[in-house]
C-alpha cells in the first residue's frame, strides 16, 4: 500500500509540473503491481482528486468553450471504455494500454511541429477518443494533449483546460467504476493514504514548473512513458 501511495505521489508530481501525465505515468506502473482493474479504479480516484485541485489553482485561465466541447464528447465515449475494461481479457487490455502509451510517447518525441487546426470543431472527435481511452485505461490525456498542440495553446491555457476536462470526465469514470463493482476496501484504503501526497504534489509541482523549462520537463516525461509502455507490452506478449 505504501509503495502504491508513493508511486501515486510521484505521478501526481509529474502532472503538477507539466500539466498532464498522472494517469499515463501511474497506470502502467501500478498495472505491473496489481490487477489492471484495481489499478484503473485507484488511478481514476486519484486522478479526479488531483485534477480538481489543479483546476481550482488554475481556474482563471480556463477557456470554457474548449473545455465544454471536449467534456461533452468524452462523456459519450466513457461508457464504451468502461465496458471494454470490464469485459475484455486483462492481457489484451494491458497490450492496448502499453501500445497506446508507447505510440503517444514516440509521436511526442520525434514528430515535427504538428499541423494546426483552425476549427475548434475537432475538439469533439479528440474528446470522444479521450473518453473511450479514459474509461478503459485512464489514458484520456493523449488526445487532449495532441489537440492542444494542434491549436497552439499557451502553457497556462493548456494546464487550465486540461484540468477542466479531466475533472468531470474522471468523476464520471469514478462513478462508472463504482457501479461496475471495481471499488474494493484495499483500493479505498490506498487512496486515503495517498490523498495527502496528491495535495502536496500539486504544490511542489507548481513550484518546479516555475523554475524549470516546461519543454524539457515534457520531453523527460515522454521518455519515461515510452519505457513504461514498452515494458507493459513486453511483459504481456
Q: How many domains does the chain have?
A: 1
Is the Cα torsion angle 141, 74, 100, 148 positive or negative in sign?
A: negative
User: At which residue does the C-alpha cell 469514478 appear?
Assistant: 174
Tell me: the pLDDT tens digits for 57-106? 877 777 777 888 888 898 898 888 888 777 777 677 778 777 877 887 78
State residue 6's pLDDT score: 92
What is the C-alpha separation between 23 and 137, in angstroms, rounded?
9
Give the domain extent around 195: 2-236
What is the C-alpha separation between 167 and 15, in angstroms, rounded?
13
- Alpha helices by DSSP H, 58-154: 64-87, 90-110, 122-137, 141-150
Residue 190 has pLDDT above 70, yes or no: yes
State residue 114's pLDDT score: 66
What is the C-alpha separation between 45 and 49, in angstroms, rounded?
6
Residue 100 backbone class (left: φ over 0; alpha: ψ -120 to 50; beta: rest):
alpha
- Quickly state the pLDDT bin for 197 (edges 50, 70, 90): very high
State residue 192's pLDDT score: 93
Tell me: the pLDDT tens digits for 24-54? 788 888 888 888 888 888 998 999 999 898 8
Amino acid at each position: 500500500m505504501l509503495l502504491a501511495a508513493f508511486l501515486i505521489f510521484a505521478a501526481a508530481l509529474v502532472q503538477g509540473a507539466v500539466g498532464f501525465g498522472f494517469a499515463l505515468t501511474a497506470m502502467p506502473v501500478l498495472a505491473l503491481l496489481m490487477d489492471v482493474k484495481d489499478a484503473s479504479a485507484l488511478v481514476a480516484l486519484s486522478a479526479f482528486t488531483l485534477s480538481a485541485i489543479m483546476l481550482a489553482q488554475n481556474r482563471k485561465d480556463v477557456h470554457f468553450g474548449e473545455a465544454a466541447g471536449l467534456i461533452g464528447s468524452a462523456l459519450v465515449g466513457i461508457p464504451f471504455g468502461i465496458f471494454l475494461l470490464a469485459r475484455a481479457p486483462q492481457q489484451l487490455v494491458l497490450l492496448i494500454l502499453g501500445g497506446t502509451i508507447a505510440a503517444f510517447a514516440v509521436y511526442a518525441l520525434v514528430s515535427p511541429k504538428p499541423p494546426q487546426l483552425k476549427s475548434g470543431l475537432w475538439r469533439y472527435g479528440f474528446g470522444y477518443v479521450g473518453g473511450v481511452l479514459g474509461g478503459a485505461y485512464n489514458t484520456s490525456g493523449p488526445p487532449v494533449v495532441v489537440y492542444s498542440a494542434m491549436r497552439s495553446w499557451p502553457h497556462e491555457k493548456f494546464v487550465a483546460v486540461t484540468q477542466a476536462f479531466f475533472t468531470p470526465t474522471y468523476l464520471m469514470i469514478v462513478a462508472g467504476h463504482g457501479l461496475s463493482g471495481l471499488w474494493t476496501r484495499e483500493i479505498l484504503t490506498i487512496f486515503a493514504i495517498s490523498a495527502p501526497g496528491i495535495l502536496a504534489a500539486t504544490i511542489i509541482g507548481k513550484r518546479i514548473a516555475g523554475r524549470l523549462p516546461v519543454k524539457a520537463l515534457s520531453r523527460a516525461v515522454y521518455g519515461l512513458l515510452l519505457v513504461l509502455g514498452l515494458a507493459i507490452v513486453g511483459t504481456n506478449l
